[in-house]
Structure 1
């Protein structure tokens, strides 16, 4: 980068170096400008993404972390899981030296930026840190976002938070390199279902082309994200499919802690089960209940378009998108599904 300083903000010598399609963002330019001013006057920037991070959350956060470090900012990044560990599928992402466990995260950051966090609760152990922060910039694309920060960069039309992360990087005066592109690409392919979802527009493909042009290996990223599993996953998947139920256009199943313990399978390995269950031709909606290490049920839902599962999950304390959403239930499997069906009947 070749920065200069304007109003305390480091910018590139060509401050309008933004990526193609940047004008389509629903984020007002005033919000971007204030973001740059806040970053410019901060020596350290704290970054946080949601608990049990997926490729979009962690990838977007690390990509922006690289850009911030390149303009001389100290960067510390984390997510608020009690058992702090990067999910196995994402351990190929560069930049993980920026990560610290929640206990080492600043107690009251001057500036905190969150990524892909739709609700305050999704910050987990970092909720108190966020509440004490001087400024909180929320970068997200979930339509159910609560807007809990002091500044929101939220665009529900964006295919992924990575789209907004790329725009911030360009506005900071950054250029894509292979590390940044790898992180952003992981976010983009994760949230578009490897370019299968309806959110995959021409702008999404144009962004992917920019990222691939840096020399990243799309085959290696795809293999890490979708084509690797421990053998125990097959056993747990088999049990989940064996107990799957199809009723009134909803296919659902669950995976208990006992299932996972029998195979020594970590919770993070369960992410892909919903994508297999949702293939059921006879079902409009798919639901998978996954019991976490604390006995709570993490509920993943998918719709083929007619049902708005985002609204259903928001009513149950969670959120997400029209066709993909989730929430946490503290009730039994039977009670959880009964509550889900009641809310589904209202949309």
Structure 2
């Protein structure tokens, strides 16, 4: 299905159906929260029945987008449509995903090039900076009346996924989309302060720990957070957000990596690339993960300090092969 036809088909479903479940991935980032809440408010304002499925809940620094009494997933309910947002595959929502089989229509809206096209209708646009960019332009194509609250959610996703418009995924369309949302009342200064200037004490302590452990070898800047660090600082997974982007700023780094626990037995490996020739998305995919060329991640069994040894060696070999290939061209 061509993109324009897909966009039209999704809009028809949003208008004709009246019972939706909106779904995003576990440990949601700004684009995930912004897209799911923005679409939630948009549909509610049109008298639709809408529930949310957000594994792990909304991180505290995105709570400003939420209203009281959000309607959440109920296993005893029947849903006509499930809209998946910012999910490269079904596994991104966690192991408890059996309920999906009971929903007759799955819409998959995403911008990850590693997306598995698992929906009945798939709108996947890797050229978009974020799912919120996709949703904004989809909705405004047919309906100019979006509320300030919806615009605020969508702009939050745009800001966070582009690194405040610093990352290479920032395009002319991203900036034009941001302007459209600001014209609808979204305040970029307010959003930035809520997201970036209200850190918890635990998050700042974890940042300090990660920087103390920071190492730079062969173009790889890396660090880890242990399970013990999490317990000692009474920290949650959401307190780790943003640390990888600080590591990424190291001048000589080509790849930035952060290892941290998401359970007592599993480590999340977060990857960032600063070189157009290094595709961390493909590296993550080889380990069962996914993402983009310059930002990706995957999960691996083991403690962060142990997993780091294996993965850093693999990345060193990858960089050597990559440099040899570029020299030979």
Same fold (TM over 0.5): yes
* 2:160 is aligned with 1:185: no
Which of 296, 303, 325 lines up with 1:325 in the alignment? 296
In the alignment, structure 1 segments of 5+ residues that lack a partner are 1-25
Give, in angstroms, the shift of residue 340 of structure 1.
5.7
Q: How does 1:189-208 map to 2 (within 5 A)?
A: 189-208=159-178
Over 3 Å counting, the alpha-carbon distance change for 1:187 and 1:126 in structure 2 is: farther
Residue in structure 1 matched with residue 54 of structure 2 by the alignment:
79
Task: Give me the whole-angstrom Cα distance separating, in 2, the residues matched to 1:129 and 1:294.
Answer: 26
Task: Give me the whole-angstrom Cα distance separating, in 2, the residues matched to 1:141 and 1:96.
Answer: 29
* 2:36 is aligned with 1:65: no
Secondary structure of the 2:231 match is helix
In the alignment, structure 2 segments of 5+ residues that lack a partner are 323-329
- Cα deviation, 1:261-292, whole Å, max 9, x if unaligned, reads 11112111111110111111121000001112
C-alpha contact (below 8 Å) 1:119/1:145 kept by paired residues: yes
Structure 2 length-normalised TM? 0.89
* 2:234 is aligned with 1:272: no
Residue in structure 1 matched with residue 18 of structure 2 by the alignment:
43
C-alpha contact (below 8 Å) 1:66/1:95 kept by paired residues: no
Residue in structure 1 matched with residue 270 of structure 2 by the alignment:
300
Give, in angstroms, the shift of residue 217 of structure 1.
2.7
Q: How does 1:1-347 map to 2 (within 5 A)?
A: 28-81=3-56, 85-95=57-67, 97-100=69-72, 104-105=74-75, 109-171=79-141, 173-305=143-275, 306-332=277-303, 333-339=305-311, 341-342=313-314, 345=318
Give, in angstroms, the shift of residue 174 of structure 1.
4.9
Secondary structure of the 1:253 match is strand
Give, in angstroms, the shift of residue 295 of structure 1.
3.5
Over 3 Å counting, the alpha-carbon distance change for 1:106 and 1:308 in structure 2 is: farther
Over 3 Å counting, the alpha-carbon distance change for 1:50 and 1:124 in structure 2 is: same
Over 3 Å counting, the alpha-carbon distance change for 1:161 and 1:310 in structure 2 is: same
Give, in angstroms, the shift of residue 34 of structure 1.
2.2
C-alpha contact (below 8 Å) 2:152/2:185 kept by paired residues: no
Task: Give me the whole-angstrom Cα distance separating, in 2, the residues matched to 1:334 and 1:246.
Answer: 17
The number of aligned residues is 317
Give, in angstroms, the shift of residue 178 of structure 1.
1.1
- Cα deviation, 1:211-237, whole Å, max 9, x if unaligned, reads 112333322211111122222333222
C-alpha contact (below 8 Å) 2:11/2:139 kept by paired residues: no
Task: Give me the whole-angstrom Cα distance separating, in 1, the residues matched to 2:6 and 2:61.
Answer: 34
Deviates more, 1:191-200 or 1:60-69: 60-69
Over 3 Å counting, the alpha-carbon distance change for 1:123 and 1:107 in structure 2 is: farther
Structure 1 length-normalised TM? 0.85
Task: Give me the whole-angstrom Cα distance separating, in 2, the residues matched to 1:53 and 1:273.
Answer: 15
C-alpha contact (below 8 Å) 2:35/2:154 kept by paired residues: yes
Give, in angstroms, the shift of residue 125 of structure 1.
4.9
C-alpha contact (below 8 Å) 2:227/2:264 kept by paired residues: no
Deviates more, 1:40-49 or 1:180-189: 40-49
Give, in angstroms, the shift of residue 99 of structure 1.
4.2
- Cα deviation, 1:138-161, whole Å, max 9, x if unaligned, reads 000000111111110110000110
Give, in angstroms, the shift of residue 314 of structure 1.
0.8
